[in-house]
């Protein structure tokens, strides 16, 4: 079935699922970029630590301390990029319809199809939009 032949609520659900998949791929790519920076900053930290051994702490105190500060700064940067990697990867897994999605989302990724009535209502019978911002008491008053 083509996505153009779906009903309004099924098409909205299909587009939401596609957006979630695109957001998951974006977050996964950001996690891979963060992992690359972990490697880069770890290497820079190691290089600065190696350079600090070339200086005598008694005669070249400023250069020695600068290399130690660089080593610590790059090490902290490497740690923070690893934290970003973990956050981005967990976000990509959490938002992915393939890993944490419902059965309807998993089916909708491979081929568009009509969803069951009442599964994800985007509008009530009068055609007015409902959303998560309206609580049960606000819907009861309407």
Cβ atoms < 10 Å from Cβ of 110: 8
DSSP letters for 100-128: H--HHHHHHHHS--PPPTTSS-SB-TTS-
Confidence at residue 119, expressed as pLDDT on a 0 to 100 scale: 60
Confidence at residue 122, expressed as pLDDT on a 0 to 100 scale: 53
Confidence at residue 116, expressed as pLDDT on a 0 to 100 scale: 72
Confidence at residue 125, expressed as pLDDT on a 0 to 100 scale: 53
Tell me how far apart the terminal alpha carbons of the chain are, to the nearest angstrom.
36
| Residue 46 and residue 53 in contact, taking contact as beta carbons nearer than 8 Å | no
Q: pLDDT below 70 — which residues of the chain? A: 1, 117-142
Confidence at residue 135, expressed as pLDDT on a 0 to 100 scale: 46
Q: Which helix (H) or strand (E) holds 99?
A: helix 97-100
Confidence at residue 13, expressed as pLDDT on a 0 to 100 scale: 84
Tokens of 18: 């596609």
Confidence at residue 83, expressed as pLDDT on a 0 to 100 scale: 98
Q: pTM of the predicted model, to two decimals? A: 0.73
């Amino acid at each position: 079935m083509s996505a153009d032949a779906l009903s309004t609520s099924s098409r909205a659900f299909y587009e939401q699922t596609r957006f979630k998949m695109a957001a998951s791929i974006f977050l996964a790519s950001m996690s891979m970029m963060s992992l690359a920076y972990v490697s880069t900053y770890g290497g820079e930290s190691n290089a600065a630590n190696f350079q600090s051994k070339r200086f005598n702490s008694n005669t070249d105190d400023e250069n020695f301390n600068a290399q130690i500060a660089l080593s610590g700064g790059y090490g902290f940067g490497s740690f923070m990029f690893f934290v970003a990697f973990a956050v981005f990867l967990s976000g990509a897994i959490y938002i992915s319809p393939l890993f944490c999605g419902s059965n309807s989302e998993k089916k909708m990724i491979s081929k568009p199809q009509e969803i069951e009535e009442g599964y994800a209502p985007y509008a009530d019978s009068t055609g007015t939009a409902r959303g998560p911002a309206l609580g049960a008491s606000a819907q009861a008053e309407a």
